[in-house]
């Protein structure tokens, strides 16, 4: 009698079981809206047929005083579309242990504003910005603390020059691939257009064990307060044995009406899908779709 094979074994052409994904959400600051972004993120991940997505919605108020304690270890990857100030100490320790021991993590846009005073989280995300204050305002992260990430002379480097968090007004912009051989970026164009999004600029943090995958540069003639630097849009971070994919793309505001251009931009969708697979497994099996944007034209899915 043959033994029963585990579900993840591929045999006789039958696909492996989907990777389990926790989509963690439930809170945003007043400039973001997880109720608009998270349903689309779930849809995009499930469209690949690679993932089974469970949405975990954290309490929007006083989560740090709650019994919120999801079982991270049940999942191959946690996708964080979530922006909060703090968690219970035991939950933070469990999450730190999960990523450090090999769990995957994906950080989407506003999630790099979360947990401004949590040292391990700041190391996981590499660089971040703003951060919620105890009264719900912004500015809990010190704008002079930590390093920026820069791509110079073909390499990811750190920079401790002055400069605080910001971004130009939303607009279409060119994203430049900086690590074409990385599994997430392999096969993507050398540059491509992102639709109506924010170029997060001068984010700061520990900036350890990070690799910039793609950058964007805001035109200072159109946006005088822009940094004038190639800002990281996509990056990876190693935290212990864990793999982290951090995308600063994907802004949506509470007052926005569909279609949400930054979220329906194919560049955002495809790099999210590929980054999630890489964070979970270390590899990317997905093909680059025919509708991926070019350097001349945005591409949207409605």
Provide the terminal-to-terminal Cα distance of the chain, rounded to the nearest Å.
Answer: 51
Instruction: For 1-57, write each residue's pLDDT tens digit.
Output: 333 333 443 434 446 899 999 999 999 999 999 999 999 999 999 999 999 999 999
Please report the pLDDT score of residue 7 as a whole number.
Answer: 43
CA distance 222 to 201: 16
In a domain, 294, yes or no: no
pLDDT at res. 101: 98
User: How much is the pLDDT for 15?
Assistant: 63
Is 2 within the bounds of a domain?
Answer: no
Angle (deg, nearest 10), helices 34-47 and 266-281: 70
Q: Examine residue 62 and state whether it is found in any structural domain, yes or no.
A: yes
Q: Domain span at residue 57?
A: 19-281
- DSSP string covering 99-149: HHTT-EEEEEGGGGGS-TT-HHHHHHHS-B---B-TTS-B--S-TTSSBEE
Q: How far apart are CA 98 and CA 272, in angstroms?
A: 21
This prediction's pTM: 0.95
Looking at the structure of the chain, the number of domains it has is 1
Measured distance CA(80)–CA(89) in Å, rounded: 18
**Residue 131 covered by a domain:** yes
Written as six digits, the tokens of 21 are 């994904």
CATH, residue 47 = 3.40.50.880
Collect the ranges in the chain with pLDDT lower than 50: 1-14
Q: Which of 271, 3, 239 is nearest to 120 (CA)?
A: 239
Query: Can you read off the two tokens belonging to residue 178?
Result: 């900086």
Residue 42 tokens read as: 């779930």
> Is 11 a member of any domain?
no
Distance from C-alpha of 265 to C-alpha of 188, rounded to nearest angstrom: 15
CB 201 within 8 A of CB 165: yes
Distance CA(183)–CA(154), nearest Å, equals 18
Any domain includes 96: yes
HSE-CB at 247 with a 13 A cutoff on CA atoms is 27
Q: What is the pLDDT of residue 302?
A: 85
Q: What is the pLDDT of residue 122?
A: 98
Residue 291, domain member (yes or no): no
Q: Can you name the residues that pair with 297 across neighbouring β-strands?
A: none
In a domain, 7, yes or no: no
């Amino acid at each position: 009698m043959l033994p029963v094979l585990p579900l993840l074994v591929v045999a006789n052409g039958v696909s492996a079981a989907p990777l389990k994904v926790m989509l963690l959400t439930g809170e945003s600051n007043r400039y973001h809206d997880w109720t608009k972004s998270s349903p689309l993120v779930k849809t995009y991940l499930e469209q690949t047929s690679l993932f089974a997505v469970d949405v975990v919605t954290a309490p929007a108020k006083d989560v740090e005083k709650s019994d919120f304690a999801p079982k991270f270890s049940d999942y191959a990857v946690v996708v964080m579309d979530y922006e909060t100030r703090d968690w219970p100490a035991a939950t933070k320790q469990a999450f730190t242990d999960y990523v450090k021991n090999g769990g995957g993590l994906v950080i989407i846009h506003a999630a790099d504003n979360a947990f401004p005073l949590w040292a391990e989280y700041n190391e996981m995300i590499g660089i971040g910005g703003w951060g919620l204050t105890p009264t719900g305002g912004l500015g809990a992260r010190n704008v002079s603390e930590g390093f920026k990430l820069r791509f110079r002379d073909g390499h990811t480097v750190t920079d401790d020059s002055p400069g605080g968090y910001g971004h130009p007004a939303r607009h279409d912009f060119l994203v430049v691939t900086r690590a074409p051989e990385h599994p997430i970026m392999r096969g993507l164009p050398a540059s491509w257009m992102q639709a109506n999004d924010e170029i997060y600029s001068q984010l700061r943090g520990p900036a350890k064990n990070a690799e910039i995958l793609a950058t964007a540069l805001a035109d200072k003639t159109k946006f005088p307060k822009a940094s004038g630097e190639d800002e990281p849009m996509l990056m990876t971070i190693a935290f212990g044995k864990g793999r982290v994919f951090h995308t600063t793309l994907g802004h949506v505001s509470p007052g926005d009406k569909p279609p949400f251009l930054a979220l329906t931009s194919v560049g955002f969708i495809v790099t999210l899908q590929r980054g999630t697979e890489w964070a979970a497994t270390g590899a990317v099996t997905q093909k680059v779709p025919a509708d991926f944007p070019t350097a001349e034209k945005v591409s949207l899915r409605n």
